[in-house]
Amino acid sequence: MKLRIQTLLPLVLLQAVFAGAQVTVQQFEGIDAVDSPFTLFTVDPNGAVGTKQYLEWTDSAYQAYDKTTFAPVYSSPLPADTPFVQNNMSNCYGTDGNGVILFDHLASRWVVAVREGTSSAWYYCIAVSNTDDLTASNFAWYAYELPLDAVMGKNSEGNNYDPDYPHIGSWPDGYYVTIDMMDPNNYYNIVGVLVCAFDRNNMLLGGTAGTPQCFKYMNPSGGNYLGHSLLPADIDGLNPPATGTPELFASIENPKSGTTSKSINLWQFHVDWTTPANSTFTGPTSLTVPVYTPGCYDATNKLNTYCVPEPSSSSTGNYIDSLGDRLEHRFAYRRFLGSTPHDSYLITHTVQTGTGSRSQTGVRWYELGTNGVLVASGNLIPGKSNYFSVPSAAQDQLGNMAVGYTVSGSATHPSIKASYLTLPSGAQSQLTILTGSGDEEDSDHWGGYTSMTVDPVDDCTFWYVNEYFTANQTGVPVWQTRIANFKVPSCP
């Protein structure tokens, strides 16, 4: 039975102290390799919390859980292409991966978005639910697809670019998607990025969506684009941005020379569904931030971000990916009202915190304000010998920030932790969600997506998902995922 872990594993309660107050962490087992309908090595765990359920994604499958009992909604995880199979959308069949789960707070709907296809024909596929309740008798998915090859174009050899690392964000006037474009004839370098706006209003109705509005930004100097992997802003809470606020995108700027950078790239997308010719995508503009060295940065091979050790690394030579060359999912947005209404955007990435080449990594966070100005930034407290990586952040209704991440080291199996910060001071405390007891010995791809999201009902409770191991993975996939939630007592 596929339910053996999810239904029988007892709920785990942890106590942690945050700024003198006690915080309860509830957690339960998510999708594991043995429960997945396909045994892939890539996991990319992410998910979102809705009004009634939590919906988790791994690259091959998804599963929903009741928010109160944590019981799984489906008897076993569903294949990743289920929403598209249900809509007879054959171009979106398969489990190619790189999927993202969103809960659209303003509309109270679920969104599943995934890349599918092969080098001969790529598609981006989006499914939007007709209700917020995954168990409703009338529940259904509205499904949409975008043929990517026509909008990405071809390289100089006449071959299609490969789409990679897609992200999606919800904004009042659209679902905004970003995709890295890899050149198969140029060592799969990321040579440009594609951004598209999807017609959210009609998709929510299950109607005919307007043609997606897309723009390409190709590296003007050719080769690997060092400002790749844009993140689109994604709304938390029920306060929409001020009318007319364009969608904001961000990426880091990897060093062109030397080992350090002091820039974040920003773009703006204004979509006009009435007159598409008036849609604009502008940028990049450079935002100056405190100096950083991207995690695991290798000046001689900028694509090599693999340096996070596990206890087995000394014997296997296998190091896991820090993903230090990019910002990490999500680019969380929140609108604060009151006497001085303002915007707050959160982003995180992995940076080097130790001395010496490719040494210890930590988590850098930024809060951006209205129009993308830098409000605050800082590093999470690093372990003395451990590496922090693959972070994800969100903010509750009071402005408290929570960041989840992986911790690993030469004496520490990959484990799941989180930190809570009070903005803008950055005062922080850390809690342990799960201590791993195994290593990923036969793969260096650590989940490229984790996600910290906020409960849309109380607008306080943080939910986080990440992967871990209880046994060394030396052959077939044995990864596991864990879902946890907690809130700061000061949040009502």
pLDDT tens digits, residue range 112-144? Answer: 999 999 888 999 999 999 999 999 999 999 999
* Predicted confidence (pLDDT) at residue 357 exceeds the cutoff of 90: no
pLDDT at 40: 81
Alpha-carbon gap, residue 407 to 382, rounded angstroms: 9
| pLDDT of 166 | 97
In this predicted structure, the answer to whether residue 417 has a pLDDT above a threshold of 80 is: yes
Question: What pLDDT shows up at residue 13?
Answer: 54
Write the DSSP string, 133-191: -TT-TT--EEEEEEEHHHHH-B-TTSPBPEEEEEEEEEETTEEEEEEEEEETTTTTEEE
User: Confidence class of residue 382 from pLDDT cuts 50, 70 and 90?
Assistant: confident
* Predicted local confidence at residue 5, as pLDDT: 32
Mean pLDDT over each residue of the chain, to the nearest integer? 92
**Averaging pLDDT over each range in 117-121, 298-302, 312-316, 441-445, which range is the top one?**
312-316
pLDDT of amino acid 403: 96
Q: How many DSSP H helices and E strands does the chain contain?
A: 4, 31
Confidence of residue 387 (pLDDT cuts 50, 70, 90): very high
Q: Which is nearest to 455 in space by CA: 14, 29, 26?
A: 26
Three-state secondary structure call for residue 376 = strand
| pLDDT, tens only, 155-192 | 999 999 999 999 999 999 999 999 999 999 999 999 99
Please give the average per-residue pLDDT across 52-69, as a whole number.
96
Q: Which tens digit of pLDDT belongs to each residue from 437-488?
A: 999 999 888 888 999 999 999 999 999 999 999 999 998 999 999 999 999 8
> How high is the pLDDT of residue 328?
96
The CA distance from 64 to 137, in Å, is: 16
Please calculate the CA angle 35-38-41 and round it to the nearest 5 degrees: 95
**Per-residue pLDDT at 68 exceeds 80:** yes
Residues in the chain: 492
**What's the whole-number mean pLDDT along residues 329-338?**
96
123 close to 89: Cβ distance less than 8 angstroms:
no
**pLDDT score at 186:** 92
Asked if 252 contacts 349 with a C-beta cutoff of 8 angstroms, the reply is yes
Average pLDDT over residues 374-396: 91
For the cut 90, the answer to whether the pLDDT of residue 37 exceeds it is no
Q: What is the pTM of this model?
A: 0.95
Between 14-18, 314-318, 364-368, 414-418, the lowest mean confidence (pLDDT) is in 14-18
pLDDT of 10: 40
Average pLDDT on 30-48 reads 90
The pLDDT score that the predictor gives to residue 41 is 86
Structure tokens at 406: 């992986």
pLDDT at 269 over 90: yes
* Position 9 confidence tier, pLDDT thresholds 50, 70, 90: very low
pLDDT (tens digit, 9 = 90+) per residue, 13-36? 555 544 456 789 999 999 999 988
Q: Is the pLDDT of residue 418 over 80?
A: yes
* Predicted confidence band of residue 2 (pLDDT cuts 50, 70, 90): very low
Residue 6: per-residue pLDDT: 35
- Residue 354: pLDDT over 90: no
**Domains of the chain by range and CATH?**
12-486 (2.130.10)
Distance CA 269, CA 196 (A): 9
Q: Map residue 44 onto helix, strand or coil.
A: coil
Contacts of 240 (CB under 8 A, 6+ apart): 106, 172, 335
pLDDT at residue 308, as a whole number: 96
| In the chain, % of residues over pLDDT 70 | 95
Say whether pLDDT at 11 is over 70: no
